[in-house]
Amino acid sequence: MKDDPILEAREVSFGYPDGTEALRKVSLSIPRGKKTAFLGPNGAGKTTLFLHFNGILRPAGGKVCFDGRDVRYDHRSLLDLRKNVGIVFQDPDTQLFSASVLQEVSFGPLNLGLPREEVWKRVNGAMAATGTVHLKDRPTHFLSYGQKKRVAIADILAMRPRVLICDEPTAWLDARHADQIMDLFDKFNGEGMTVVFSTHDVNLAYSRADYIYIMKNGAVIGEGLPEQVFKDLGLLQQAGLERPWLVDVYEELKRKGLAVKNSWPKTKEELFSSIAGKDFSLSRARP
Residues that bind ligand ATP (CB under 6 A): 16, 18, 20, 22, 40, 42-48, 90
What does the alpha-carbon distance between residue 270 and residue 253 come to, in Å, rounded to a whole number?
13
Nearest of 77, 44, 81 to residue 161 by alpha carbon? 81
Q: Choose from ligand ATP, Mg ion, none: what does 16 bind? Cβ within 5-8 Å by kind.
A: ligand ATP
Shortest distance, CB of residue 256 to ligand ATP, whole angstroms? Answer: 36
Residues of the shown chain interacting with Mg ion in the complex, contacts defined by CB under 5 A? 46-47, 90
Decide which of Mg ion, ligand ATP, none touches 109; Cβ closer than 5 to 8 Å per partner kind: none
**Phi, psi values for residue 33, rounded to 5°:** 75, 10
Which residue lies nearer to Mg ion by CB, 90 or 274? 90
Smallest distance, ligand ATP to C-beta of residue 87, A: 12
Residue 29 contacts which entry, ligand ATP, Mg ion, none (Cβ below 5-8 A, type-dependent) = none
Between the CA of residue 44 and those of 40, 203, 221, what are the distances in Å?
6, 19, 10
Nearer to ligand ATP, 180 or 217 (CB): 217
C-beta separation of 271 from 265 below 8 A = yes
Rounded to the nearest 10 degrees, what angle do helices 145-157 and 116-130 cross at?
140
Cα–Cα distance for residue pair 34/220, rounded to 1 Å: 19
- Closest approach of Cβ 239 to ligand ATP, in Å? 11
Of the pair 42, 237, the CB lying nearest ligand ATP is at 42
User: Please, which residue, 40 or 222, has the CB nearer to ligand ATP?
Assistant: 40
Q: Which does 44 bind (CB under 5 to 8 A by kind): ligand ATP, Mg ion, none?
A: ligand ATP
Q: How many helices (H) and strands (E) does the chain have?
A: 12, 10
